[in-house]
Structure 1
């Protein structure tokens, strides 16, 4: 099988712009992990898009690399897609980037190791995702549009882009700060608002296929409040939990509510003091935690995603190892 791999940050998504060092490091880590897992599988031929400014990962030969320096990757992708059997993009949902990549692949009739475009659109919209949570009876952090009424909300508020990734663009504001910020906002439909909730930032790493879900690991996110915003410093992958059944139940409900979810998916949530939690968002792609999942639970995650093409992953027994991933930015 020929697989085209495209990690947006390191693969040319910022061609013609400055490369953000922190995002380059995170993207590079996910890319390196994916390539190592794919390289371990028989019968896989790789083509990897790589920004001309980025160093070639040591697992690749020069022949496997397509150097990118053109600012519009959409002029490059169709030709590469026509020469491959499968497309594996790693990209943010922001500004419809991931959705656009999926649509380009669909237009070229190239199978993509992602959820379908309609499902990607829902996951990229925090309000739409919140509605899915509510429809399936799942606990979730209340989410409203910036144009809604907030008279019944008290305390600090979190404002974030409706399609933002992780901590990107999120701000923690007092009621007074929020009122001032809201009055000055020129594009209110671009933002959502959530009450600031006490809890431990967490995520679930999972596989989805055919309306079913398989929990891989429960992770802790190391997030700090910095200058009124939030910064992800790292994550602890595969932490010990009292029971996995609660989280598997959440995933089962998401699989029913969004049957188009496919492959590796991350789900962000807050662990509450009572041992429960509240869901925040769905990341229908490889996430930072992915870089530690395979080592933590003793499987080749990429291999299991490929098995999902045939319906279900093979049975696997999770190990008890916890892996720390720290970002130096």
Structure 2
């Protein structure tokens, strides 16, 4: 039976006008478009699937056969998603955690149609400071373990529920970081201040079911810091380290540890981390949704991750897990 799937990426679907931060929206919109198009492209190749996708930008980059849908005049993003969700069997949605956006969308769509993490998992991981404290309590190494380390030379101030590298600044003096935090907090921002962890910036991509959190790939993140300390996210190299890399096993174990600590991670999720030269992986944040590392990942792995996500939703395990189980039988 053909499944009707609605793909909604918040900014490219029209949410940029409601986001409240034009510079952040401008920075994140190209990333959102690339994620939307990658998700749609995989779904188009999946069997027994018809696809609709939200659009608002001039022109239409969607593949042939995908139905573009637009919000009505003055219709809020939440009302638009609610209206479309009842017209479809499943909803695959990407939105920032900022301001509780992603969790609110999950509750609007409801568990029956939602392709992704639970509202509880989204809310748990939305706040960076609370996430780190929660993970640390479950034995996961985070920047909190470096709070009093003498080798720490820089500190980072960033939105507590932000996305990408938006409004993130790195300081060479702790006093400067405290001043930055105080000034921006006074202006109404909710921020977190952490030790800056030196090492290789990585992420891992996961495909999560109730039974398993499979680590799909280790990805290398490209991050730059300008002369003023402003951090920029410049892209990601997906599947940058294969199974033969000595970091694969410890990172797969870390992914399982994080998934155990955060019940409700379902579908695609990501973990941002730094590989410290002496102390190994340090988790920076958990992303309970599709991330930029999804773009090109199906091709890199030779797997259709969207098809596996649909199969996992229907049968209680990813298609890859089912294939492995059959091979072991």
Interval containing the TM-score (normalised by the shorter chain): 0.7 to 0.9
Q: Counterparts in 2 of 1:76-91, with a 5 A limit?
A: 76-91=80-95
- State how many pairs are aligned: 308
**Unpaired segments ≥5 residues, structure 1:** 145-149, 318-329
- Please give the alpha-carbon distance, in whole angstroms, between the structure 2 residues aligned to 1:289 and 1:162: 21
- Please give the alpha-carbon distance, in whole angstroms, between the structure 2 residues aligned to 1:311 and 1:252: 18
* Structure 2 SS opposite 1:29: helix
Corresponding residue for residue 320 of structure 1: none
Q: Which has the higher helix share?
A: 2
Corresponding residue for residue 206 of structure 1: 206
* Structure 1 SS opposite 2:70: strand
Change (3 A) 1:188 1:268: same
TM-score scaled by structure 1? 0.86
- 1:166, distance to aligned residue in structure 2 (A): 2.6
Change (3 A) 1:102 1:299: same
1:85–1:111 CA contact under 8 A, matched in 2 = yes
Change (3 A) 1:183 1:6: closer
- Please give the alpha-carbon distance, in whole angstroms, between the structure 1 residues aligned to 2:312 and 2:134: 23
Deviations 1:32-66, CA, capped at 9 Å, x for gaps: 11111000012111121111x3421240447x111
* Structure 2 SS opposite 1:164: coil
Q: Counterparts in 2 of 1:15-94, with a 5 A limit?
A: 15=17, 20-51=25-56, 53-61=57-65, 64-68=67-71, 70=74, 72-94=76-98
* Structure 2 SS opposite 1:142: helix
1:159–1:192 CA contact under 8 A, matched in 2 = yes
TM-score scaled by structure 2? 0.86
Deviations 1:251-286, CA, capped at 9 Å, x for gaps: 111222122110000100001113721011000111
* Structure 1 SS opposite 2:186: coil
Please point out which of 153, 156, 168 is paired with 2:154: 156
Please point out which of 14, 17, 20 is paired with 2:16: 14
Q: Does 1:165 align with 2:135?
A: no
Change (3 A) 1:151 1:301: closer
RMSD of equivalent CA atoms: 2.5
